[in-house]
Structure 1
Amino acid sequence: MSIRKAVLPVAGLGTRVLPASKVIPKEMLPLVDRPTLQYIVEEAVAAGIEEIIFVTSSSKRSIEDHFDSFPDLERTLERKGKLKELEELRRVQTLASFAAVRQPEAHGLGHAVLCAKHLVGNEPFVVMLGDDLVAPETPCLPRMIELFERTQSSVISLFEVPKEEISSFGIVAGEAVKGENDFIKISHMVEKPDPEEAPSNLAVAGRYVLSSDIFELLEHTQPGKGGEIQLTDALQRQAESGRCYGLRFDGERFDTGTPLGLLKTSIAYALKRPELAPALREYMHSVLQDQKLNEC
């Protein structure tokens, strides 16, 4: 069965980027001239996803609006001859089919995924977190989907973290599949362990390809770390039965969940744009030169 659907949990409060996220969803904060979430949707579509399911909250209506039609704006752009902008607007609206379901209260990532059960149905699906970006030049989803189809088991993306950051992530232990050092059969997972108790330094990144039985496991998962229903706990059950793998990802990944991370990502994406990069490099060079002069 081909993987057609992606669940994007976007109901979180975004407290790490307050006050910017007080009335604007953190996923809608701009990277250059596009909201962060649009890059994630485009990544999903590039991997063959046809349906995007947003798990939202009452304060996230602008997410649905961004991917919906806006007739008044379209007519205005057409009247003013801004055809390039009009074309881009319509492209975004037709990237995929979009659906949304609300998470009534913030009970954790596992609970957010469970909220999408009736829209996903009995088929494998992708989960993508809204503050993790993967550069389109180094995608991981296509290989994760290929590995899922080969094993018929859940596949999660992994990356190495320094010891001081271990307690901020889900951490896994496992062994490399013979002949494939970047493909790991996971034996154990733990959510945000103390560094001294962590089974490794391999952290779960924001990409998952999941088999549909994860829903039944989540329904029987008790609140764990932080009093929340953790997706990691359900994945641990799959790992115990030999049905969970990890792809060690060494491509370009960005974390937009903090002010510094958002700023770094915006600069990195602007530098990929040929119409922006030269002027931006010149500006950054002049700022650094001025700073050096001031320090003298």
Structure 2
Amino acid sequence: MVRKAVLPVAGFGSRMLPASKSIPKEMLPIVDRPAIEYVVKEAVRAGIKEIILVSHSAKTAIEDYFDTQFELEQQLAEKGKNDLLAEVQNILPADVSVISVRQHRALGLGHAVACAAPVVGNEPFAVLLPDVLVDCEGMAEDLTMMVENYLSSGAAQIMVEEVPAERVDQYGIVALQGTVPAPGQSAAMTAVVEKPAVEEAPSRLSVVGRYVLPGEIMEILARTAPGAGNEIQLTDAIATLLEHAPVEAYAMQGRTFDCGNKAGYLQAIFHFAARHPELGEQVRAMMAAELG
């Protein structure tokens, strides 16, 4: 079973300054809850029972959010605010744990994932980049399907989506053995390249920020040399894994929001606010009024 998920949250979020100067960018709210909660709950819905935060000493607010806050809960109970009390007590199911490990130096995504090796061990695990929110309303969730595909095929799963040709040099790009899979399907990969030159990109399929990987990837990361940006790249480790084990590109069917930049963050707020069960109607009316 895939029961563990690694969430790299140690970055300083420079694209979200000045807001992220004192507040972790993962704690910036999307309507009425922090962005990190959306990502953690996505993992939980996929069957994950252990959330591993790869964090930094300045970002303990993320750990605190998922912890019990006795004084707050006591005050809510005494004031009879039972609905709010239920909200803060039931952020996660009781059988889901959140732990934290430290990334002392910013040496790349691959290094961040490797920091979780003592906790992950040899088990398969998921990696979720917290900047990316995935909305699969009305359909099977992409991460859940990736986990199912991994369990049935034994092949690591890398979520991908197509990007414009002129933007392939901004992403990890995959090469396929055959045709591009339909949304919700997986296809065998032959290579993955981190931020290739536009004219050298093997496809237009970019890595989105969701992975299901075998525990073996930790051993590979331990011997992976710095690559693009002089950082240890997870894509380089996946390329090494491909030399002797199957890896598949999973074509996502949901919609992504890049909350690591201001425009994507605002887009996510508009999207989730318009669907909010209590605020949705009011928000849609406000948005219509603003648009004239």
- TM-score, normalised on structure 1? 0.94
Q: Distance in 2 between matches of 1:274 and 1:93?
A: 19
Alignment equivalent of 2:249, drawn from 246, 251, 272: 246
Q: Distance in 1 between matches of 2:136 and 2:100?
A: 25
Q: Distance in 2 between matches of 1:100 and 1:23?
A: 19
Q: Give the Å deviation of 1:250.
A: 2.6
The answer to whether the Cα contact below 8 Å between 2:54 and 2:112 also exists between their aligned partners in 1 is yes
Partner of 1:156: 158
Which of structure 1's runs of 4+ aligned residues deviate more than 2 A?
175-182
Q: Distance in 2 between matches of 1:211 and 1:41?
A: 20
Q: Distance in 1 between matches of 2:235 and 2:82?
A: 46
- TM-score, normalised on structure 2? 0.95
Partner of 2:110: 110
Partner of 1:126: 126
Give the AA of the match of 1:158: V
Partner of 2:220: 217
Q: 1:34 to 1:180 in 2, by over 3 A?
A: closer
The answer to whether the Cα contact below 8 Å between 2:136 and 2:253 also exists between their aligned partners in 1 is no
Q: Give the Å deviation of 1:207.
A: 0.5
Q: 1:5 to 1:38 in 2, by over 3 A?
A: same
Q: Give the Å deviation of 1:93.
A: 4.9
Give the AA of the match of 2:270: I
Give the AA of the match of 1:82: K
Q: Distance in 2 between matches of 1:276 and 1:255?
A: 23
The answer to whether the Cα contact below 8 Å between 1:7 and 1:116 also exists between their aligned partners in 2 is yes
Q: Distance in 2 between matches of 1:177 and 1:161?
A: 16
Alignment of 1:69-108 (within 5 A): 69-94=68-93, 96-108=96-108
Partner of 1:294: none
The answer to whether the Cα contact below 8 Å between 1:177 and 1:185 also exists between their aligned partners in 2 is no
The answer to whether the Cα contact below 8 Å between 1:186 and 1:242 also exists between their aligned partners in 2 is no
Percent of paired sites with the same residue = 47
Encode CA deviations 1:185-216: one digit per residue, 9 max, x unaligned. 11011101121111110000110000010011
- What count of residue pairs does the alignment treat as equivalent? 288
Give the AA of the match of 1:107: L
Encode CA deviations 1:91-138: one digit per residue, 9 max, x unaligned. 015461111000001000000000000111111000000111111424
Q: Give the Å deviation of 1:288.
A: 1.6
Alignment equivalent of 2:146, drawn from 144, 147, 166: 144
Encode CA deviations 1:241-283: one digit per residue, 9 max, x unaligned. 2421110113222111110100000110011113212111211
Encode CA deviations 1:128-167: one digit per residue, 9 max, x unaligned. 0011111142421111111111222211101001123212
Partner of 1:236: 239
**Secondary structure at the residue paired with 1:21?**
helix
Partner of 1:169: 171
Q: 1:242 to 1:171 in 2, by over 3 A?
A: same
Q: Give the Å deviation of 1:58.
A: 1.1
Partner of 2:198: 195
Give the AA of the match of 1:76: Q
Q: Give the Å deviation of 1:36.
A: 0.2
Q: 1:11 to 1:179 in 2, by over 3 A?
A: closer
Give the AA of the match of 1:273: H
Q: Distance in 2 between matches of 1:136 and 1:184?
A: 20
Which residues of structure 1 form unaligned runs of 5+? 290-296
Q: 1:39 to 1:180 in 2, by over 3 A?
A: closer
Q: Distance in 2 between matches of 1:78 and 1:93?
A: 19
